[in-house]
Chain A
Amino acid sequence: MSVIAVRRSNLPGFGLTMGLTLTWLSVIILIPLAALFLKTFELSPEQFWGIVSSRRTLNALKISFGLSFAAALVNLVMGTIIVWALVRYRFPGRRLFDAIVDIPFALPTAVAGVALTQLFAPKGWLGGPLAELGIKVAFTPVGIFVAMIFIGIPFVVRTVQPVLIDLDVEIEEAAASLGANRWHTVLRVILPGLIPALLTGFALAFARAVGEYGSVIFIAGNLPNVSEIAPLLIVIRLSEFRYADATAIAVVMLVASFLIIFAVNRLQRWAQARIPTH
């Protein structure tokens, strides 16, 4: 790693720990990911394009990215409302609900998948009443959407929550003393301060939903071109031993998630630059 130039330090162990870190990082993360790109380079550009632009792949990518985006939008709105309630109001069970927000982080995805399916299946607790209204959730794209909302909630809440807590209360009072009504204060004073965190939370929820597998596949229905997500298509291509196809789809998704990380990093830097030092 040429990027690492050591400054001699007083504490021992830099060479050893850095060496082991880089070795372990290379073995577990870098070499395997490199293998993915290496495999992609075995394809000609035409082959690669052929795979990626085939109808089934394109539809799977559209479903994954489109529904993830929509789910992240829902998370953005509902996450903001949840954060607002948790931070600004006092109500019975507030601490409990605060802890509950983390469940989608902690619950294994397969468990979430079967539970959501059972809940929204035509005979399920929620699926039943919804079916009577003519709304089918499980085994349709709506099911995918629901599962993606589930896994995305904590990202928005946990990104925005600390920022809202730390927000200087004086600016609200200043706004009020300058004659702003509550609506103006929220819209013009508080929300702008939350925008970097909101966008970061949105991007994280989006990235997670795009790559999500376990909690989605049970409820999805998995009909090609209709309710088949990209990660599932990778698994299917692998089971058919069509490694090239699986790899090409994976590379598209990986590049997309790298772009999202990059965007998130920029957002964080932007947010830090905007906040004056306390």
Chain B
Amino acid sequence: MTIEVKNIVKKFGAFAALDNVDLKVGNGELLALLGPSGSGKTTLLRIIAGLDWPDSGELSFDGEDALGRGASERQVGFVFQHYALFRHMTVFENVAFGLRVQPRGVRKDEATIRARVKELLDLVQLDWLSSRYPSQLSGGQRQRIALARALAIEPRILLLDEPFGALDAKVRKELRQWLRSLHSEISVTTIFVTHDQEEALEVANRVVVMDKGRIEQIGTPGEVYDSPATAFVHGFIGESIVLPVDVRDGAVRLGGSALDIGANGAASGASKLFVRRHDMQIGPPGSGALQGAVRHVRSFGPIQRAEVALSAGEGNTVIEIDAPRDRELRAGEMVGLQPRRYRIFAAQK
């Protein structure tokens, strides 16, 4: 099933939750909607599910208009952030719900329903919990039951709202891998919403980065991490060093002095220089585009993280750099810094 979102606008009062959003999702994709809270990602998901309606715009599934159909007719599996399990039903009845409410004629007989529910519980590896109530389950178990319930209706699209948001870190990691392998097993077009970049990069085939109701970038995890399209994406994904610079006639200036790096076609004016922490190469004093004094070093694992006070321009700018441990840095040492890879974006007001 392919999904096409065209020019969707959704306002809550004066606040634009979605501001002219366009998105195409291919068949069988595993797509992440990534953004900070308030970026509109959950609203977009709810609109696709039919739990909300846009003020304007189009939505189609396989080329067919979907907005004319209510949530119950879209055959979309939705997994809620807090799971929304029916608290008065057993796990079994929760999963069976979507099959039991089908109109007469379509509805399968009891034996088929039972077999199907069993199959789904096996799929999520929780068959042994079928007679429990939701309140007796752990967070991770609830999550998987919610997923089994959503899969029961043989959804054409699977939507997950912050699927791991309410879980602790360890369970979260396990469930990520599990979701990936589940997706490759059932290969249903799947969209999940998350504010956790690591989760998006690790699980999804493609990532949609959103901010303030707009899509900032769509790309593979590699693309959004390595070639961020906007300052927001660069700042939101991965940890970056951000320096206020001034671009004039192809030269980049920090504070008063010019840096020995190219503007890479950035327009003149106040700008921001983005460098990944590990893309800042450390050399002897005098080398590189920036000079600084190491103030503090912490070493762990394969890297050492150094706080460096820059001497150029605004001298009290302190940046954090991740360097390999081939040469141990010491506090007080002077170093030269050269960005290996960097991007310059016009500064926004």
Chain A residues near B (Cβ < 8 Å): 8, 10, 12
Nearest neighbor of B51 in chain A, beta-carbon distance: A10
Chain A residue at minimum C-beta to C-beta distance from B13? A7
Nearest-neighbour CB distance to chain A for B68, whole angstroms, equals: 14
Closest to B53 in A: A8
CB of B50 closer than 8 Å to a CB of A: yes
Q: Considering the chains assembled together, what is the distance between the CA atoms of A12 and B70 in angstroms?
A: 10
Can you list the 3 inter-chain pairs with the closest CB atoms, starting with the nearest?
Answer: A10-B51, A8-B53, A10-B52
Q: Which chain A residues border B52 with CB–CB below 8 Å?
A: 10
Q: Which residues of B contact A12 (CB under 8 A)?
A: 70
Judged by a CB distance under 8 angstroms, whether B71 is at the interface is yes
User: A13: shortest Cβ distance to chain B, in Å?
Assistant: 12
How far is B70's CA from A8's CA once the two chains are assembled, in angstroms?
12
Name which residue of chain B comes closest to A7, CB basis: B12
A164 to B71, CA, bound (A): 45
Interface size on B, residues (CB 8 A): 7
Which partner residue on chain A sits nearest B52 by CB separation? Answer: A10
User: Which residues of chain B have a CB within 8 Å of any CB of chain A?
Assistant: 46, 50-53, 70-71
Within the complex, what minimum Cβ distance (angstroms) separates A5 from chain B?
12
- The 7 listed contacts between A and B (C-beta, < 8 Å) are A8-B53, A10-B46, A10-B50, A10-B51, A10-B52, A10-B71, A12-B70
Collect the chain A residues with CB atoms within 8 Å of residue B70's CB: 12
Complex: A10 Cα to B53 Cα, angstroms: 8
Nearest residue (CB) in A for B71 is A10
Residues of the A chain whose Cβ atoms lie less than 8 Å from the Cβ of B53: 8
For the complex, what is the distance from the CA of A8 to the CA of B46, rounded to whole Å?
13
> Which applies to chain B's interface (DSSP): helix, strand, loop or mixed?
loop
A144 to B46, CA, bound (A): 60
Give Cα distance in the complex from A8 to B53, angstroms: 8
Docked complex Cα distance between A8 and B51 (Å): 10
CA distance A232 to B342 in the complex (A): 88
B201 to chain A, nearest CB (A): 31
Neighbouring A residues of B71 by C-beta, 8 Å: 10
Q: How far is the CB of B322 from the nearest CB of chain A, in Å? A: 40
How distant is the Cα of A10 from the Cα of B50 in the complex, in angstroms? 7
Question: With A and B bound together, what is the CA distance between A150 and B70 in angstroms?
Answer: 55
Give, as a whole number of angstroms, the nearest-CB distance from B52 to chain A. 6
Contacts of B51 in A (CB 8 A): 10
- Which of chain B's residues have a CB closer than 8 A to the CB of A10? 46, 50-52, 71
Name the distance in Å between B104's Cβ and chain A's nearest Cβ.
20
Chain B: minimal CB distance from A10 (Å): 4
Cα-based distance from A229 to B70 in the complex (angstroms) = 59
A10 and B84 alpha carbons, distance in the complex (Å): 15
| Cβ of A3 to closest chain B Cβ, rounded Å | 17
Q: How far is A8 from B52 in the complex, measured between Cα atoms in Å?
A: 8
C-alpha spacing A12/B53, complex, angstroms: 13
Residue on B with the closest CB to A9? B52
User: In the complex, what's the smallest C-beta–C-beta distance from B65 to chain A, in angstroms?
Assistant: 17
A23 to chain B, nearest CB (A): 26
User: Which of chain B's residues have a CB closer than 8 A to the CB of A8?
Assistant: 53
Minimal beta-carbon separation of A192 from chain B (angstroms):
37
CA distance A12 to B71 in the complex (A): 10
Nearest B residue (CB) for A10: B51
User: B50 — nearest CB in chain A belongs to which residue?
Assistant: A10
Q: How far is the CB of B179 from chain A (nearest CB, A)?
A: 25
A residues within 8 A CB of B46?
A: 10
Cβ contacts under 8 Å, B50 to chain A: 10
**CA separation between A227 and B71, bound complex, in Å?**
65
The CA of A232 and the CA of B53, in the complex, are separated in Å by 56
Q: How far is the CA of A10 from the CA of B46 in the complex (A)?
A: 10
Complex formed: what's the CA distance from A258 to B51 in Å?
A: 40
**Cα(A10)–Cα(B76), bound, Å:** 14
Min C-beta distance of B76 to chain A, whole Å: 12
- Minimum distance in angstroms from A7 CB to a CB of chain B: 9
* Nearest residue, chain B, Cβ from A8: B53
- Roughly how many angstroms separate A222 CA and B71 CA in the complex, as a whole number? 64
| B139 vs chain A, min Cβ distance (A) | 23
Minimum CB–CB distance from B79 to chain A (whole Å) comes to: 16
- Given the complex of chains A and B, what is the CA–CA distance between A266 and B250 in angstroms? 65
The distance from the CB of A205 to the nearest CB of chain B, in whole angstroms, is 38
A137 to B51, CA, bound (A): 65
Closest chain B CB from A123 CB (angstroms): 56
Minimum CB–CB distance from B8 to chain A (whole Å) comes to 15
Closest to A12 in B: B70
Chain A residue with the shortest CB-CB distance to B12? A7
> In the assembled complex, how far is the CB of residue A6 from the closest CB belonging to chain B, in whole angstroms?
13
Complex Cα–Cα for A38 and B63 (A): 60
Nearest residue, chain A, Cβ from B46: A10
- Shortest distance between the CB of B226 and any CB in chain A (Å): 39
A10 and B51 alpha carbons, distance in the complex (Å): 5
* Bound complex: CA A8 to CA B71 (Å): 14
In the complex formed, the residue of A with least CB distance to B49 is A10
**Shortest distance from the beta carbon of A74 to any chain B beta carbon, whole Å:** 45
**Measured between alpha carbons, how far is A10 from B70 in the docked complex, in Å?**
8
